[in-house]
Amino acid sequence: MRSVVRCGDRSAGQRRTARDGLSGQSLSDPLDAERRWYRYHQLFRDILRIELARTQPAAPAVLHERAARWHADAGNDGESIGHAIESGNASLATELIATRWRHTFNAGELQTVENWLAALPSAVVSGDVRLVAARVWLAMDSGRLDDVAAELDHAERSLPTDGQLRMLRALHSYKAGDLALTARQLAGVGPTLEPFLETVRRLVTGVTALWAGDSSWPMIG
C-alpha cells in the first residue's frame, strides 16, 4: 500500500517547492511526469503512521476507510480493498472484494485475490455466494478439483443455489471429464444476467456438445 500526497491544486511554484523540499531530502518520490502526485519514502511513511497511532489511536481506521471509499469511487480496486482491510471495516472490505475480485482474477493476479479472501473471516467467505465463487474459481484455475467439489458441496448445502453455483458445478464436471453429466447440469443452469458467466456457459456448452459429437452445437444457448 502506498502513502501518496497530491499537489495538483497548487501553483507551479508551490509544486516546485514541494519537489525541492521533499524530494531533495529524499522524503518523497514523484509518481507522474507533472509532479502532481508524490509517494512518501517508506521510512518517513512509517514514522508518520507510528506518530498518528500514538497521538490519535482512532484516526488510522477512519483514514483507511475514507481512502478505501475514495479509491473505490476512482476505480482503484487494489488500493480500495487494501485500505478497507486495514480499516477493520469487515462489511466494507467484504463488499469491495465480492464486487471487484474478478477483474484482478482475470488479470492473472490469483495470489492477490487469495490474500484478500484470507483477510476475511472464514465464516464471512463461506456465507457469501460471491466470495464462495471467488474461492471456487481460484481452486479451479489451480487444478485443485477436489477442493472445488468440497467447496461446492458445502455451498449447495448452506446457501441458496443460484445460476452461478450451478454453472460452477457444471464446469467442475467438465474439467473432471464427465461430458454426459456436464451436459445435464448445463441444461439446468439457464441464461444468466451476468455477461461473464453467460460467456462461460455458452463456451462450455459448445465445447461439450462438440466433444460429444453433436454437430448442432453452434445453435445451443
The stretch 171-197 carries a mean pLDDT of 87
Non-local (6+) Cβ contacts of 217 within 8 A are 205, 206, 208, 209, 210
Which helix (H) or strand (E) covers residue 22, if one does? helix 12-22
Number of H helices, E strands in the chain: 12, 3
**Count of domains in the chain?**
2
Q: Is 9 a residue whose pLDDT tops 80?
A: no
- Count of Cβ atoms closer than 10 Å to residue 182 Cβ: 25
Q: Is residue 41 part of a domain?
A: yes
pLDDT at residue 189 greater than cutoff 50 = yes
Is residue 212, in this structure, part of any structural domain at all? yes
Lowest average pLDDT, out of 44-48, 84-88, 105-109, goes to 44-48
Q: Confirm whether 167 is domain-assigned.
A: yes
Q: Which of 149, 138, 155, 150 is nearest to 174 (CA)?
A: 149
User: What is the span of the domain harbouring residue 3?
Assistant: 1-11+36-55
**Residue at 96 is within a domain:** no
Running DSSP on this structure, what letter comes out for residue 218? G
| Structure confidence at residue 45 (pLDDT) | 76
In a domain, 147, yes or no: no
Residue 148 domain-assigned (yes or no): no
Question: Average of pLDDT values for 144-163?
Answer: 93
- In a domain, residue 185? The reply is yes
pLDDT confidence tier of residue 187, bands split at 50, 70 and 90: confident
Q: Within a domain: residue 3?
A: yes
Q: Please check whether residue 81 is in contact with residue 117, taking contact to mean a CB–CB distance below 8 angstroms.
A: no
For residues 54, 56, 61, 62, the Cα torsion angle rounded to the nearest 10 degrees is -160
Greatest mean pLDDT among 46-50, 51-55, 95-99, 176-180 lies in 95-99
What does 134-202 look like in DSSP terms, one character per residue? HHHHHHHHTT-HHHHHHHHHHHHHHS---HHHHHHHHHHHHHTT-HHHHHHHHHTT---SSHHHHHHHH
Per-residue confidence (pLDDT) for residue 33, from 0 to 100? 78
Each residue's pLDDT tens digit, 95-148:
999 999 999 999 999 999 999 999 999 999 999 999 999 999 999 999 999 999
